[in-house]
Structure 1
């Protein structure tokens, strides 16, 4: 497979480019306005284009990865789909539900895969968590999430509303996706409040999402505190706790804390790469021509993110 990358994000050079050879990608075409280059010679051929339009017209790639500031996702994704490419787009895929639905409709009509790169649950620890609940004969009913970090540098695009900045866009997908993943449902009710406001965008928010059957997610998310990144998953007779839940690091064994009537225990998982797991799953869907599940996930999270923004008083 040849991959066309639109954008030169840090996440592409640091986490995605190194894994591509092991996933069957044989060459990469790259179009970036910044002109950024990889810090070291990549392990596969890398060709550069001056702009995305020229790349879409001139690259023989089967798939496109859109990894730009949030405000450019829509136009680039729609152009890539229109030209017949499968597309993976960084989260948040789109800044409004109408655009998400338009892109999904185009992908479905053309028989193309469209996937949002929300990768955190592709780490093996989450398979271990699901097995722990299955072994206990239980299912999750309550989720409690915290993802907050110190302020970003002043020049970061996440401070700029015209670039799709603000923590509801940056961290909102981590509030929208856990209920889909663990409950298999979208929320019945959504409550959200901005906790802190920067000069131009919100810098922190809290939310409560209520799901069918009395299930719930509570969350605190922001970019104005010390670093915290954890998820608690609770159910009958079992409580699980994970640190670094939403950004599992490379090269580090991760633990899963489990507490049941038999007492507490800890399961340890060998180092793994959630990005590799996600892209392997997406590339398999492209090969099989079966992207319905990925498209449904994108739309479900887009609907929930839209409701979070409305509940917080944001425009759609």
Structure 2
């Protein structure tokens, strides 16, 4: 495997797992700063190269992981696929729905594995919650989810529109993806609001209201200017179940699920799991067999489509240059 980029998530969380995985040979890491690539490579026992294209074209690499800013995902994922590499892209797959479709089409034509790195999906706590639904929740009435973090470093790509910055693509995609675990069919965007920072031009906070074909609603909130929150809850006719550390639980944490029913509140502690390892292992196994669950890309398409619909439907506030999106007054052609 090779790694295209030396982002913090790659160095701190992903590369240690890849370097230790018994079915992975971590060959090289690339950075436009060759000295940084060499320093990072030395830590993990692999080669550091100063050019993304050089890594993509290497004959001794079968697959790549791409932790670049979202605005760069499409270019380098497409080049990697066309070079015959399996590709694991940090979420979101790309910053534009049509670009995601092109990546999916290319991967399918070439028989390659293309995966979007939503690591939380690989933590067993969500399967445990699904198993509780009939008993603890009953008929689902509503879903709520929040993922927000305190303000980030001012020079972060997350505040740069050209690189695909903004809260929707960085943290908003998590509760959107979680909602799709429990709501059914293509979800309707009933309303959305994105607050745009005047200085940077990116959305720094937002809320979304969704509905599925049963009338179950989802209320989602996200942003870069909040105290940390990473949670979702399911509310039905029998009770309410809430997941406290839904998206980024530390590997040593035993997640606690809270169940509220009438006058009884129960908390269940679930086993600790390393969702980073689980996600990497799932990709490795799929790439080695050119199959498995990651080869089915309908979830990637649904996610990209939903993000696009949220963006089109959202009212933009906070920047005097911004207006409610044209989709409020015209058919987008995507429904």
Deviation at 1:139, TM superposition (A): 5.8
Matches within 5 A, 1:58-69: 58-69=58-69
1:125 corresponds to: 125
Range that drifts further, 292-301 or 213-222? 292-301
Partner SS, residue 214 of structure 2: helix
TM-score (norm 2): 0.86
Q: Secondary structure at the match of 1:48?
A: strand
Q: What do you get for the CA RMSD once the two structures are aligned?
A: 2.3
Alignment of 1:177-256 (within 5 A): 177-199=177-199, 200-256=201-257
Q: Do 2:286 and 2:295's aligned partners in 1 also have CA atoms closer than 8 Å?
A: no
5+ residue gaps, structure 2:
315-323, 327-331
Q: Per-residue CA shift, 1:190-247, capped at 9, x if unaligned?
A: 4211235341211101110111101121011111122222111223313111222121
CA contact (8 A) 1:190 1:307 kept: no
Structure 1 residues 241, 29: CA separation in 2 closer, same or farther (over 3 Å shift)?
A: same
CA separation in 1, counterparts of 2:53 and 2:78? 12
With over 3 angstroms needed to count, the CA separation of the structure-2 counterparts of 1:301 and 1:250, relative to structure 1, is: same
Structure 2 CA distance for partners of 1:145 and 1:28, relative to 1, 3 Å: same
SS, match of residue 279 in structure 2: helix
Helix, strand or coil for the counterpart of 1:253?
A: coil
The Cα offsets for residues 88-128 of structure 1, whole Å up to 9 and x where unpaired, read as: 10111111111111111001111111111111122121121
**1:12-32, CA deviations, whole angstroms, 9 ceiling, x for partnerless residues?**
111111222235212231111
Per the TM alignment, residue 185 of structure 1 is displaced from its structure 2 partner at its CA by: 3.0
Give 3-state SS (helix, strand or coil) of 1:58's partner.
coil
Q: Residues 135, 23 of structure 1: CA spacing in aligned structure 2 closer, same or farther, 3 A cutoff?
A: farther
Retained in 2: the 8 A contact 1:118–1:173? no
Report the secondary structure of 1:142's partner residue. Answer: strand
Deviation at 1:81, TM superposition (A): 0.6
Q: Which runs of 5+ in 1 are unaligned?
A: none
- What is the TM-score with the length of structure 1 in the denominator? 0.91
| Counterpart residue number, 2:258 | 257
After superposition, the C-alpha distances for 1:146-173 in whole angstroms (9 at most, x for unaligned) are 2222211111111111111111221231
Q: Deviations over 1:253-308 (max 9, x none)?
A: 22111123582211112322212122222222223322565411111100000011
Residue correspondence of structure 1 range 158-177 to structure 2 within 5 A: 158-177=158-177
Does residue 10 (structure 1) correspond to residue 40 (structure 2)? The answer is no
